[in-house]
């Protein structure tokens, strides 16, 4: 148990430690270090601010296992999740951590046979993990009774808010007893979540893991500038140059996901597509194949990937630039986990650079520019892989059935030529430089200054100093970079460096006066 010294210090039993050892855990994550001792030692409710991929399921799952006796006819714990994928993943994770403890866990969600769920609940379960809609279905059928639960977990509460489930959550809370303990986990803590906590939680403690700790420490973040037409070629090069690629590829639309996955499969890659039109049965089958590494490339939309928690991903690739900094943080947080470094790669076209600048600024992260691997580099990597695969066969003696054929060929031909012919026959297409297309060099203009139009003027009691301070307050840009300020009656103009201009425009995009944004790029016009 020396490997698990960090977990042992948190107060976990040998049963849980043995389960962690079997799963390959070594050190607790930040959220686990903070949540588990409070959960075990104090009688308080808890709000945990943490994102997917920080280990929060084990943070609440392990103490639950320690506290539950098992063998209950009615549920002792209810765990609510926004998606069926997350419900299934949480149930599987807790089940894998329970060790030899007799605890029954059931995942209930839409898209799964309700008759099977009814039978499962009737047999008796200790922990129910479910989505709000299906939990309400069971409550209306009186097939689920929550009056005796000791614990209620709200997982990814902000996602439930975004997806319109908070009213359902409140309705479910009305069916529970007042003495239960509540744990609420959320990546962000908007006012509606605060109101929910104040209304339904007893004395509570707030535990925060900052986004900076989550997204940058173990994730190498880079971007490649490519023309839109060259993105697929760039994707193939990245997969081919890696020794063992195992990653998620994010696209913006279902059509893009299907198209990219099909092209990958047609080119011989082990890939699958995941989006909202995929049935629940197909989804579970695809995720099972991905987790077992029968496929190593999963192409998905953001919505379809919610709740997916796959360990040991080497890469997350933003084939399409995410819509906002929060989506970027959420995507790349899926790699660089469990103490292993991962790589987040983003493809940008020249006209997307402005959005990338905004993401870097708001996410407070460094995304560096790199050059795509060349064809010669990829061929060299493939040669190395072939040597390793052949060496493994030689070391395993898995070639004895072919010795007589080898003898026959070597009697007639030179050994070196025979081996070269076999290599060409087996790997010819793989080592053919013509199988790759040239990628055009593109670059973006990151220098110079931009003139911006501001829909505020002297009529709004604005002067140059007030305008500069107002923009600084909203964007955190150094006000000294805001120059050549000209104030007119109904509007103003400012000049700022290119990167700061993009940050200002994106920040003010949602703040409008009338029908137009407060800040936008200045058009050519003459003012006297």
pLDDT in the model for residue 445:
58
DSSP type of residue 203 = S
Which tens digits make up the pLDDT trace of 480-519? 889 889 999 888 999 988 878 888 888 887 565 555 678 8
Q: What is the domain extent for residue 502?
A: 449-521
My answer on whether 335 and 401 are in the same domain is no
My answer on whether 226 and 362 are in the same domain is yes
CA–CA dist 168, 158 (Å, integer)? 14
> What is the average pLDDT across 450-469?
88
Residue 441 lies in a domain: no
pLDDT in the model for residue 523:
67
Instruction: Please give the share of the chain, as a percent, with pLDDT higher than 70.
Output: 92
CA–CA dist 139, 174 (Å, integer)? 11
- The burial class, CB within 10 Å (0-12 / 13-18 / 19+), for 453 is middle
Q: Where are the alpha helices (DSSP H) in 350-463?
A: 353-363, 375-396, 403-412, 415-427
My answer on whether 9 and 147 are in the same domain is yes
pLDDT in the model for residue 484:
87
**Which residue, 39, 244, 32, is CA-closest to 153?**
39
Give residue 252's pLDDT band: very low, low, confident or very high (50, 70, 90): confident
Q: List residues bridging with 207 in a β-sheet.
A: 48
CB 519 within 8 A of CB 452: yes
**Kindly report the CA angle at 321 between 315 and 327, in degrees rounded to 5?**
75
pTM: 0.51
Residue listed under structure tokens 């009737």: 122
pLDDT in the model for residue 189:
84
My answer on whether 136 and 194 are in the same domain is yes
pLDDT in the model for residue 407:
87
106: phi then psi, degrees, rounded to nearest 5: -130, 135
pLDDT in the model for residue 511:
61
CA–CA dist 354, 339 (Å, integer)? 32
Give residue 212's pLDDT band: very low, low, confident or very high (50, 70, 90): very low
- The burial class, CB within 10 Å (0-12 / 13-18 / 19+), for 403 is exposed
My answer on whether 387 and 301 are in the same domain is no
pLDDT in the model for residue 356:
85
User: pLDDT: is 452 or 364 the higher one?
Assistant: 452
Q: Is the pLDDT of residue 525 over 50?
A: no
Residues 32-69 as b/e (b if ≥16 CB within 10 A, e otherwise) read: bbbbbebbeeeeebbbbbbbbbbbbbbbbbbbbbbebe
Query: What's the CATH number where 51 sits?
Result: 3.40.50.300
Q: What is the mean pLDDT of the chain?
A: 85
Q: Which of 373, 399, 425 is the last residue of a domain?
A: 373
Residue 240 lies in a domain: yes
Question: Of 344-348, 501-505, 522-526, which one has max mean pLDDT?
Answer: 344-348
> What is the average pLDDT across 199-204?
91
Compute how many other C-beta atoms are within 10 angstroms of the C-beta atom of residue 75. 25
My answer on whether 134 and 193 are in the same domain is yes
pLDDT in the model for residue 351:
74
Give SS3 for 57: helix
Q: How many domains does the chain have?
A: 4
Give residue 213's pLDDT band: very low, low, confident or very high (50, 70, 90): very low
CA–CA dist 369, 117 (Å, integer)? 50
pLDDT in the model for residue 15:
93
My answer on whether 380 and 368 are in the same domain is no
My answer on whether 24 and 122 are in the same domain is yes
CA–CA dist 105, 99 (Å, integer)? 13
pLDDT in the model for residue 516:
63
Compute how many other C-beta atoms are within 10 angstroms of the C-beta atom of residue 380. 14
**Kindly report the CA angle at 80 between 105 and 109, in degrees rounded to 5?**
70
Q: Are strands 271-274 and 151-154 parallel, antiparallel or unpaired?
A: unpaired
Which tens digits make up the pLDDT trace of 387-412? 888 888 888 877 888 888 888 888 88
pLDDT in the model for residue 53:
62
Give residue 215's pLDDT band: very low, low, confident or very high (50, 70, 90): very low
Residue 444 lies in a domain: no
pLDDT in the model for residue 239:
93
């Amino acid at each position: 148990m020396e490997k698990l010294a960090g977990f042992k210090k948190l107060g976990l039993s040998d049963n849980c430690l043995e389960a962690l050892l079997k799963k390959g855990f070594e050190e607790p994550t930040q959220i686990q270090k903070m949540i588990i001792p409070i959960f075990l030692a104090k009688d308080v409710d808890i709000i945990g601010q943490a994102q997917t991929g920080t280990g929060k399921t084990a943070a609440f799952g392990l103490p639950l296992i320690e506290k539950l006796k098992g063998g209950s006819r009615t549920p002792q714990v209810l765990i609510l999740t926004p998606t069926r994928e997350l419900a299934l993943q949480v149930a599987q994770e807790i089940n894998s951590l329970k060790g030899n403890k007799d605890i029954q866990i059931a995942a209930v969600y839409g898209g799964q046979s309700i008759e099977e769920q009814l039978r499962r609940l009737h047999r008796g379960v200790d922990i129910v993990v479910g989505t709000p809609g299906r939990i309400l279905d069971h409550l209306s059928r009186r097939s689920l009774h929550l009056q005796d639960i000791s614990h209620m977990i709200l997982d990814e509460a902000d996602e439930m808010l975004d997806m319109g489930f908070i009213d359902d959550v409140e309705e479910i809370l009305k069916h529970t007893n007042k003495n239960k303990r509540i744990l609420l986990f959320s990546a962000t803590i908007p006012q509606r979540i605060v109101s929910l906590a104040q209304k339904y939680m007893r004395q509570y403690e707030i535990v925060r893991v900052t986004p900076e700790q989550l997204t940058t420490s173990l994730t190498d973040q880079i971007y490649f500038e490519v023309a839109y037409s060259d993105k697929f070629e760039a994707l193939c090069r990245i997969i081919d140059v890696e020794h063992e690629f195992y990653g998620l590829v994010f696209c913006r639309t279902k059509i893009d996901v299907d198209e990219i996955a099909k092209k990958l499969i047609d080119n011989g890659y082990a890939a699958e597509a995941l989006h909202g039109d995929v049935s629940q049965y197909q989804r579970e089958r695809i995720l099972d194949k991905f987790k077992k590494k029968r496929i190593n490339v999963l192409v998905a939309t953001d919505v379809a990937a919610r709740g997916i928690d796959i360990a040991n991903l080497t890469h997350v690739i933003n084939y399409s630039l995410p819509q906002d900094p929060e989506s970027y943080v959420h995507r790349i947080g899926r790699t660089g986990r469990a103490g292993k470094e991962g790589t987040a790669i983003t493809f940008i076209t020249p006209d997307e650079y402005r959005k990338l600048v905004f993401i870097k600024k708001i996410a407070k992260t460094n995304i560096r520019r790199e050059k795509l691997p060349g064809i010669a580099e990829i061929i060299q990597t493939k040669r190395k892989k072939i040597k390793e695969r052949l060496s493994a066969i030689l070391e395993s003696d898995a070639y004895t059935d072919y010795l007589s054929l080898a003898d026959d060929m070597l009697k007639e031909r030179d050994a070196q030529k025979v081996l070269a012919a076999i290599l060409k026959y087996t790997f010819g297409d793989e080592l053919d430089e013509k199988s790759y297309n040239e990628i055009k060099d593109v670059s973006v203009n990151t220098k110079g200054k931009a003139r911006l139009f501001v829909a505020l003027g002297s009529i709004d009691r604005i002067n140059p100093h007030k305008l500069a301070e107002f923009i600084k307050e909203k964007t955190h840009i150094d006000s000294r970079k805001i120059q050549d300020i000209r104030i007119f009656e109904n509007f103003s103009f400012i000049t700022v460096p290119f990167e700061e201009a993009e940050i200002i425009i994106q920040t003010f995009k949602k703040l409008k006066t009338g029908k137009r944004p407060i800040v936008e790029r200045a058009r050519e016009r003459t003012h006297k």
